[in-house]
A = this chain, B = another copy of it.
C-alpha cells in the first residue's frame, strides 16, 4: 500500500464527512430540486454520456468480455431515460430524515422520541451496471447521506461521466456536491483501505458477485450490509392451485434467470408429484430449462415418453446450494410443509422464498416460519426489488439479520436516534443539595 493511495482514500472520506452536517440540515425542497436538476442535466448531456460509455464498451469488447456483460454496460437512450426516471421518482418519495416515528412522555414530563437520521457516509462497491451509480447517488441525496461510489473498472468512463453530471447539477441547486464522491482510480487497495476506516465510513454496501462480496466482508472493519447470493425456493404444496404454480415457477425461472431473485430450487409435495410435475417439466423443458432432479422427480420424467425432450439429470447435494443464474432448476420432492421449510432453511440463502398453496393455515405457517428477507404466498419471487415493491429504487438487497432485510431504499439508509425534550429533569430527582445551594454566592 503506497502512502499516496492511502491519502487519496482519506481525502475522499474527509470530503464526504465534511458535508454531513450540512446534509442533515437541508430542506427536502433543496434535495428534490437537486434531484430534478440532475435529471435535467442528464437529459441535456446524453451525447456526452453515450460518448464516454462507448469508450467502456469498446474496451470491454477488446478484452473479449461476454456479450451478456457488455450488454449490462451499455447506456443507450432507453437506459438513460431509466436513470432520469429514477432521479424523478426519488424526488417524489417522502423524505425520511427528521421523521419522528414515535414520541412518548415519561411520568416526569420528559418527552422521549425517535427521530430518523442519515447513516452518514455510505461506501458502495459495485460491478458493471453504470445505472447503479445513479440509483445509489439519488437515494443517498434524498436521505442526506454522503456516498462514496466505487464502480467496476469496466464502467469507469461511464461512471465518471455520470458523477460529473450529478455533481454539477448539485452545485447549481445549492446541494453540497461533495456528498457524492467517486473513486476514479482502479487500485483495489483503495477499497481495502476504505473498508478499514471505522468511524469514518458508516456502512459499506457491496453489490455484485459472491466472491466480491465475500472479499469485502472479510476485509471490512466497518459494518457491511450485503447478500452473498440468492438461492430462492418455490414450494408447490399439495393444496396448490396448479395453474398458478405453472405460471409462477415459469416466471421466476425463465423471465430473467440471471438475477438473484430468480428461483433455483423447486420443492414439490409428493401427493401432487404425478399430477403437477410432468406438466411443469414439459413447460420448463420447452423453455430450455435444464432440471436437476432428486430420484423421485427424475423417475417421473424418465418414465414419461412425452418428456423425453426434457434435459433432466440427477441432482447432486451441492446443486441445491447453488445459485445457477441460468436456465437450470433443481427439483426436490418432500412429504410435508415442514420438510419444505427444513429444506429451505438448509439450502436457501434467506433471500426470497415462496409457497404456492390455497390452504390458509399453511400459507400463514410458511410466512411465519420461513426466515428469509422476503417470504411470498402465491407470487413470483422475482418481485424482490426496491422498485417493484414501490420503494422507488434500491441501494442493494440484504439477507443479513440486522439493520435491514430485503431491498434497501430510503428508510434503510437512515437510523433512529433518541431525542429527549426536557425542562430540567434530573435522574432520581437528585439536584444540587440545598446546603450547597443556600451558600451559593
* A residues with CB within 8 A of B: 20-21, 24-25, 98, 104, 106, 110, 112, 115, 117, 119-120, 202-203, 223, 225, 241, 244, 246-248, 250-252, 254-256, 278-279, 282-283, 286-287, 306, 341, 345, 365, 367-369, 371-380, 382-384, 388-390, 400-407, 415-428, 430-432, 436-437, 440-441
Of A25, A378, A379, A380, chain B has the most CB atoms within 10 Å of the CB of A379
Quick one: closest B residue to A441, CB to CB?
Answer: B306
New A-B pairs, 20, CB < 8 Å, besides A20-B371, A25-B365, A383-B425:
A21-B369, A106-B388, A202-B402, A203-B402, A241-B424, A244-B424, A250-B430, A250-B431, A250-B432, A282-B436, A374-B419, A375-B417, A376-B419, A376-B420, A378-B422, A378-B424, A379-B422, A380-B426, A405-B416, A406-B418
Task: Flag if B369 contacts A246 (CB, 8 Å).
Answer: no
Asked if B374 and A417 sit within 8 Å, CB to CB, the answer is yes
Q: Within the complex, what minimum Cβ distance (angstroms) separates A219 from chain B?
A: 12
Residue in B241, B406, B417 whose CB lies within 8 Å of A372: B417
Contact between chains at A441 and B279 (CB < 8 Å): yes
Asked whether, in the complex, the Cβ of A420 is within 8 Å of the Cβ of B375, the reply is yes
- Contact between A383 and B110 (Cβ–Cβ < 8 Å)? yes
CA distance A418 to B390 in the complex (A): 12
Question: In the assembled complex, which residues on chain B have CB atoms less than 8 Å from the CB atom of A255?
Answer: 426-428, 430
B residues in contact with A278, CB < 8 Å: 441
Known: A368-B24, A405-B418. A247 touches B377 (CB 8 A): no
Separation of A181 and B325 alpha carbons in the complex (Å): 39
With A and B bound together, what is the CA distance between A287 and B432 in angstroms?
A: 9
For A254, A306, A401, A417, the residue with the greatest tally of chain B CB atoms inside 10 Å of its CB is: A401
28 A–B pairs (Cβ distance < 8 Å), ordered by A: A21-B369, A24-B369, A98-B368, A119-B402, A120-B401, A203-B402, A225-B402, A244-B423, A251-B426, A251-B431, A255-B430, A256-B427, A279-B440, A283-B437, A283-B440, A374-B417, A374-B419, A377-B421, A377-B422, A378-B423, A379-B420, A379-B424, A383-B420, A384-B418, A389-B418, A404-B415, A405-B417, A407-B418
Which 6 pairs between the two chains have the least Cβ-Cβ distance? A379-B422, A382-B427, A247-B431, A251-B426, A403-B403, A374-B418
Interface on chain A toward B: helix, strand, loop, or mixed SS? mixed
Residues of B within 8 A of A440 (CB): 279, 282-283
Task: Return chain B residues, CB-CB under 8 Å to A246.
Answer: 431-432, 437
Alpha-carbon distance A195/B251, docked complex (angstroms): 40
A247-B428 Cα distance, complex, nearest whole Å: 12
Do residues B406 and A403 form an inter-chain contact, with CB atoms below 8 A?
no
Please give me the residue from chain B that is nearest to A406 by CB atom. Answer: B418
A104 to B246, CA, bound (A): 26
B residues less than 8 Å from A20 (CB atoms): 371
